[in-house]
Structure 1
Amino acid sequence: MSHETHTHGYIESKDKVLARLRRIEGQVRGLQRMVDEDTYCIDILTQVSAVKKALESVALGLLDDHLSHCVADAVREGGDVADEKITEASDAIARLVRS
């Protein structure tokens, strides 16, 4: 399957996604500092939860964009492309739920 045939939905909010990822990157560096400075385990775990929540938020935003653009366009086209995009989205949702 080619991912190059459609413009990805998140392109419209690419700067916002990148800013959020950079903020998460900073949070991860903060976790490294906390470990390096022998911070109390529970405080580190609290920050790990915050990073995980931030990543989940990015993932859900990307998923929403994907459903609104790529999947919706494929459904309008119909046929095998639609089935493929729906299966792909379902698999991505299953991976998010399991993580």
Structure 2
Amino acid sequence: MSETNACPHCSERKKKRTAEEQNALLRRLKLVEGQIRGIQKMVEEDAYCPDILIQVSAVSAALNSFNKELLACHIRSCVSEDIRNGKEEAIDEFVKVMQKLMK
């Protein structure tokens, strides 16, 4: 989307990640993507429901792990930097994010 037609659910803020951070996050997402493809194949091949459910649970755990890593990075960089710069609204933003994650 162009900047003028930005998604109303996405922040206009950007976060420059180190190559190491970006690679670690992308590696996790690619693993999840592979797991999803595996589940799709299981459905196509009429796999037994509990076997599929176990794989879906594994994907959920992998996404939770991704969230934990991204959240830790966010706290160490964005949140702490904003607080040091006197941007107290960063705390409110962080609380809102946590509330959404804990649904």
With the shorter chain as reference, the TM-score category is 0.7 to 0.9
Q: RCO higher in 1 or 2 (8 Å CA, sep ≥ 6)? A: 1
CA distance in 2, matches of 1:16, 1:39: 31
* Partner of residue 3, structure 1: 13
- Give the superposition deviation at 1:54: 0.3
Percent identity of paired positions between Structure 1 and Structure 2: 40
Runs of 4+ residues deviating >3 angstroms: none
State the Cα RMSD in Å.
Answer: 1.5
Q: 1:76 to 1:2 in 2, by over 3 A?
A: farther
TM-score by length of 2: 0.81
Alpha-carbon deviation of 1:88? 1.5
Structure 2 residue ranges without an equivalent (≥5):
1-10
TM-score between the two structures when normalised by the length of structure 1: 0.84
Residue type of the alignment partner of 1:51: V
Q: Is the 8 A contact 1:71 1:82 kept in 2?
A: no
Q: Which has the higher helix share?
A: 1
Q: Does the aligned pair in 2 maintain the 1:17–1:58 contact within 8 Å?
A: yes
SS at match of 2:13: coil
1:29 corresponds to: 37
2-structure distance, mates of 1:18, 1:41: 29
- Distance in 1, Cα, partners of 2:66 & 2:81: 22
**Aligned positions, number:** 91
